[in-house]
Homo-oligomer: A and B are copies of this chain.
Amino acid sequence: VSVDPRSDRPIYRQVADILRDQITNGTLAPGAMLPSEKALADTYGIGRDAARQAIAVLRSEGLVRTDKGHGTAVRAEGGRRALELVSGESVIARMPTESERYSLNLDEGVPVLVVHSVDGAALYSAEEIYITVR
């Protein structure tokens, strides 16, 4: 479990791979804290920049959540509820604008669903919803 600076693969991606493995195999369970940036830098003999980038990769994948002054934790998979789509409605998925992310209080790496009906459009966190047919 180490990084190779001579590899074609950037070291920040190598570190991201290691952490992603630990998340998917359960070594880092939902809610668990990742090592701090400094701890990662010391462990793998890399700069803080590379450690930060590794965590940023996981954040953009929606796998972890970072709180300033606290640290980075594995995101728990929130339970989803069914959204029943009826004839005449349509849905698109996209990334939120910054203001949408703020008002819906979304973490990074979480898409939104826009449901269009005759009444207009409604916005949901994509993470809380799965779509079915009535």
Bitwise, A117-134 to B at CB < 8 A (1) or not (0) is: 000000000110111111
| Cβ–Cβ contact B108 & A111, under 8 A | no
Roughly how many angstroms separate A43 CA and B87 CA in the complex, as a whole number? 51
Q: Is A97 an interface residue (CB 8 A)?
A: yes
Closest to A132 in B: B90
User: How many chain A residues touch B (Cβ–Cβ < 8 Å)?
Assistant: 33
Q: Please, which residues of chain B bring their CB within 8 A of the CB of A82?
A: 90
| Cβ–Cβ contact B95 & A130, under 8 A | no
| Cβ–Cβ contact B108 & A94, under 8 A | no
Please give the residue numbers on chain A whose beta carbons come within 8 Å of chain B beta carbons, in ascending order: 57, 60-62, 80, 82, 85-98, 108-111, 113, 126-127, 129-134
